[in-house]
């Protein structure tokens, strides 16, 4: 079964953006199939269907890991602010100035874009949840996020160049 389905699974994972991890994901798919088969319980009625269900779940898990590994600059700054560290007066002042500048940038955004960013980063809502609340499509929510982050990144970069 491995020899027969491994190339299909490799292609499946590759098409979903896991080119570098495809081989590992193929092996993990088979390991999960074997563990389920060896477990105490009923035999798997359709191993092929089970195999591709496991593969789909692994692909989704991998996509979620990739999404979370690419955190926006603002989120990284928020996370780093929560870490205990000795901070000089100058560092604290710089952080406060950067935070105030970011607040001004956010205030300059159109109302819908600002609302989308707040719901995503402060409230932790998904694009779908935000879309439902605002009565727009998830695609439109994504456009607002991209526009808002772009303005904030440019503003922070321009400020850094002036210093």
77/64 same-domain check: no
55/79 same-domain check: no
Residue 118 tokens, joined: 């707040």
Q: Which domain holds residue 78?
A: 73-162
> Are the C-beta atoms of 34 and 80 separated by less than 8 Å?
no
Given this model, what pLDDT does residue 82 score?
57
Residue 151 tokens, joined: 């303005």
Number of domains in the chain: 2
Tell which of 69, 88, 112 closes a domain: 69
Local confidence band at 142 (pLDDT 50, 70, 90 cut-offs): very high
- Higher-confidence residue: 60 or 92? 60
Given this model, what pLDDT does residue 160 score?
64
CA distance linking residue 46 with residue 75, whole number of Å:
44
10/64 same-domain check: yes
78/61 same-domain check: no
Structure confidence by residue, pLDDT tens digits, 53-89: 888 888 888 777 666 555 565 665 665 565 555 657 7
Structure confidence by residue, pLDDT tens digits, 110-132: 888 988 888 888 888 899 999 99
Burial (CB < 10 A; 0-12, 13-18, 19+), residue 134, is middle
Task: Give this prediction's pTM.
Answer: 0.43
Q: Find how far residue 81's CA is from the centre of its chain.
A: 20
Tell which of 69, 91, 115 closes a domain: 69
109/148 same-domain check: yes
- Of the CA atoms within 13 Å of residue 123, those in its CB half-sphere come to 13
60/111 same-domain check: no
Tell which of 36, 69, 102 closes a domain: 69
**Residues 6 or more apart whose Cβ sits within 8 Å of residue 148:** 106, 109, 113, 114, 116, 117
Given this model, what pLDDT does residue 139 score?
93
**Residues 6 or more apart whose Cβ sits within 8 Å of residue 109:** 117, 147, 148, 151
CA distance linking residue 106 with residue 121, whole number of Å:
12
- Higher-confidence residue: 82 or 96? 96
pLDDT over 70 at 153, yes or no:
yes
Given this model, what pLDDT does residue 143 score?
93
Q: Please report, for the domain that includes residue 110, its CATH number.
A: 1.10.10.10
pLDDT over 80 at 163, yes or no:
no
- Diameter of the chain by CA atoms? 67
């Amino acid at each position: 079964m491995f020899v027969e389905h491994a190339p299909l699974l490799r292609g499946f994972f590759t098409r979903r953006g896991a080119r570098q991890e495809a081989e590992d994901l193929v092996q993990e798919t088979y390991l999960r199939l074997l563990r389920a088969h060896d477990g105490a319980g009923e035999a798997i009625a359709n191993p092929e269907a089970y195999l591709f269900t496991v593969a789909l779940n692994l692909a989704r898990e991998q996509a979620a890991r990739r999404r979370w590994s690419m955190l926006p600059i603002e989120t990284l700054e928020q996370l780093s602010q929560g870490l205990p560290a000795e901070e000089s007066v100058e560092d604290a002042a710089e952080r406060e100035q950067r935070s105030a500048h970011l607040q001004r940038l956010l205030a300059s955004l159109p109302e819908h874009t600002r609302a989308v960013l707040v719901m995503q980063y402060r409230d932790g809502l998904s694009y779908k949840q935000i879309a439902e609340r605002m009565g727009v499509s998830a695609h439109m929510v994504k456009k607002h996020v991209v526009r808002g982050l772009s303005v904030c990144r440019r503003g922070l970069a321009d400020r850094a160049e002036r210093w």
